[in-house]
Structure 1
């Protein structure tokens, strides 16, 4: 095994995998437990959806900007050393919460901790892998993320049935504590020597004949938003966000749409519905990553060695044009007009197709952004992710009220229209 693969493997096992699991489990394992939380805390559903779901997505987006900025200045590894203790604290507060205020604080801390895992993880992979391998490597990395998204809701639902909704935060606390020890002991820094901001400060002090004294440097975390002034980044951010929000329109209201329509009443059965979307994404991610790399290699060979980063976006077209919008549209139609097992099977197929379509849009688009901004990988990933989670937060907040107001078909048709707008 080469040193490159050893570094990737050690970081993946000790930090990336567990970090991805935290992000997914903290977010997705909570959704099927919402009815149990309502009973326990005696709180209306709208309040929990706003504080524990929408606020989580908002904090996830905001905190990611801070993590990305400081990962470029101080390196990738310190982000994990800060984020994991926060995940421990947030999970502990959630598990012990007796009011909406305590639950909100705990969820906010969980989101703040989880925010750095995805952007910093992708940045580390871009540090290690070259252009022709990057899509496949990022696709393989996302397998862990998407697999955890698939199993987290069902796991949370089972925990809620046989123990309590408070069990999952306790489990996340234990795993995050052990992962913190692993990160301290094993993973190395992947930033290239001399590329960090702190390295440049040290070099400047040495050139001036001075002794460098480490000090805290305040950074503007939202400076990376300037990247949106470039049409390449802004178009990719909007396109992926429009596709991503369809997933939340389909999944967040499951307890109120698919569940009652087809007699799925327990949290475990509701959580099992998430498996279809997650499995679609998990199966599609490494394949789509490999396809995007093959397109890059093939197109560059056709041009006699000339490389165009936009070639990678060709891999997104089937998902953006067909799979994402048509799956959410058919999902709404099936819930409204097709009863029984046939309707439920069609819903499952739509969730699976939507999962595949999402990774076809998000995976190559993210890799493309990394390709064109090699020196700002964490920042560009977090900008795109921040826009995506902003859209997802709106979908989480307004999906259920829209369904209650205009119906599930009209809501899904509206989501499909937004997805087609993103493609256009």
Structure 2
């Protein structure tokens, strides 16, 4: 992340810029896997949703203010200044992790622990040796329908966010006369505000649902109960907000149209975290000893879908119009809702199809 930020700030060509941005993204992605998995290690089931919600609320504060901050920097100084600031923030994060973040991995679940235990059982002395790590090993978890369904469902929801936000300077900008980079950046705030406010709330709601359902069953835990918190966002907020957003831009001019767009962005922000938050927590609930791996699968799937939206949203808008692409995105979001509904109804059966070492008790054991 530090190296990528420096390369971007000093880049003089598109190739150098692309290389730097790739390094930045690779570095930033580590927090998206390690953060939730660490939280899953230290919070029990009934508190995990609230903790994850607080985490994502803090994480999503960055995207909420970054476009406006970057727009201000580009307007009054240089976009390179923002990259130098990111370098400083990345360096402070590195120092903070080294100083304050201890190992939270489940005792005995690390590869070195298993090798040491195996050597002791065989009466041998364990000696360290070089091990090649396969970075794509975690993708095997995608074989489980529960994992793949919630990963795709959350990716479908997140994709609508990129369909709305990435082309802002080509949709809301010219439609409502916003030309300044700072003003365009400010248009990201409603979505970011919805995510930041909604994430802790929906996390707490998912915990309450878990507690309530367990009590109703006499103490029996069903992991899919947590996914009930996703339904309002997946069924209504996400698809309807992106659909109304496209219709508004294409057919409603003036201040009224701009206000409706901001309301849609805010509603979409809440809806996206209503889907992404509980699905991430559900994933670590059912694979507690593989929390980092399953979060990596979810994050990778979400980012893949988001990347496609970022690449193709603007060309499709130019080809078929903003209302049509918004309707298409809403349809994708409803497909994600269908996957969540299937997982909620048939989750127990789906987990029996492929044995991924699922967590079977509320205390995190298998």
- TM-score > 0.5 by shorter chain: yes
User: How far apart, CA to CA, are the structure 1 residues paired with 2:188 and 2:30?
Assistant: 24
**What is the deviation of 1:211?**
4.2
> Aligned runs of 1:56-205 on 2, under 5 Å?
87-205=1-119
2:248 equivalent to 1:334: yes
Aligned with 1:166: secondary structure? helix
**Paired residue for 2:226, among 278, 303, 312?**
312
User: How far apart, CA to CA, are the structure 1 residues paired with 2:117 and 2:316?
Assistant: 56
1:323 corresponds to: 237
Deviation larger for 204-213 or 186-195: 204-213
**What is the deviation of 1:195?**
1.9
**What is the deviation of 1:421?**
1.3
Aligned with 1:422: secondary structure? helix
2:165 corresponds to: 251
1:407 corresponds to: 321
> Aligned runs of 1:216-235 on 2, under 5 Å?
216-235=130-149
Task: Specify whether residues 384 and 178 from structure 1 end up closer, same or farther in structure 2 by C-alpha distance, changes over 3 A only.
Answer: closer
2:278 equivalent to 1:364: yes
User: How far apart, CA to CA, are the structure 2 residues paired with 1:336 and 1:399?
Assistant: 15
2:126 corresponds to: 212
Aligned with 2:79: secondary structure? coil
User: How far apart, CA to CA, are the structure 2 residues paired with 1:156 and 1:213?
Assistant: 50
1:270 corresponds to: 184
User: How far apart, CA to CA, are the structure 2 residues paired with 1:105 and 1:99?
Assistant: 10
**Paired residue for 1:350, among 264, 267, 271?**
264
Aligned with 2:126: secondary structure? coil
CA contact (8 A) 2:239 2:329 kept: yes
Q: TM-score, normalised by structure 2?
A: 0.90
**What is the deviation of 1:404?**
0.4
User: How far apart, CA to CA, are the structure 2 residues paired with 1:210 and 1:182?
Assistant: 38
User: How far apart, CA to CA, are the structure 2 residues paired with 1:182 and 1:370?
Assistant: 25
Runs of 5+ unmatched residues, structure 1: 1-86
CA deviations on 1:306-365 (whole Å, 9 max, x unpaired) are 110111111111000000000000001111111111100000000000000001111111
Aligned with 1:221: secondary structure? coil
User: How far apart, CA to CA, are the structure 1 residues paired with 2:100 and 2:241?
Assistant: 43
**What is the deviation of 1:274?**
0.7
Task: Specify whether residues 225 and 182 from structure 1 end up closer, same or farther in structure 2 by C-alpha distance, changes over 3 A only.
Answer: closer
1:261 corresponds to: 175
2:155 equivalent to 1:241: yes
User: How far apart, CA to CA, are the structure 2 residues paired with 1:179 and 1:390?
Assistant: 25
User: How far apart, CA to CA, are the structure 2 residues paired with 1:216 and 1:254?
Assistant: 49
Count of residues in Structure 1 that have an aligned counterpart in Structure 2 = 338
Aligned with 2:166: secondary structure? helix
CA deviations on 1:145-182 (whole Å, 9 max, x unpaired) are 11111011111111111110111110111122233223
* Greater helix fraction, Structure 1 or Structure 2: 1
CA deviations on 1:60-114 (whole Å, 9 max, x unpaired) are xxxxxxxxxxxxxxxxxxxxxxxxxxx1110000000000111011111111111
User: How far apart, CA to CA, are the structure 1 residues paired with 2:29 and 2:65?
Assistant: 20
2:348 corresponds to: none
Aligned with 2:104: secondary structure? coil
Q: TM-score, normalised by structure 1?
A: 0.78
User: How far apart, CA to CA, are the structure 2 residues paired with 1:310 and 1:233?
Assistant: 12
User: How far apart, CA to CA, are the structure 2 residues paired with 1:149 and 1:342?
Assistant: 26
**Paired residue for 2:208, among 265, 287, 294?**
294
Runs of 5+ unmatched residues, structure 2: 339-366
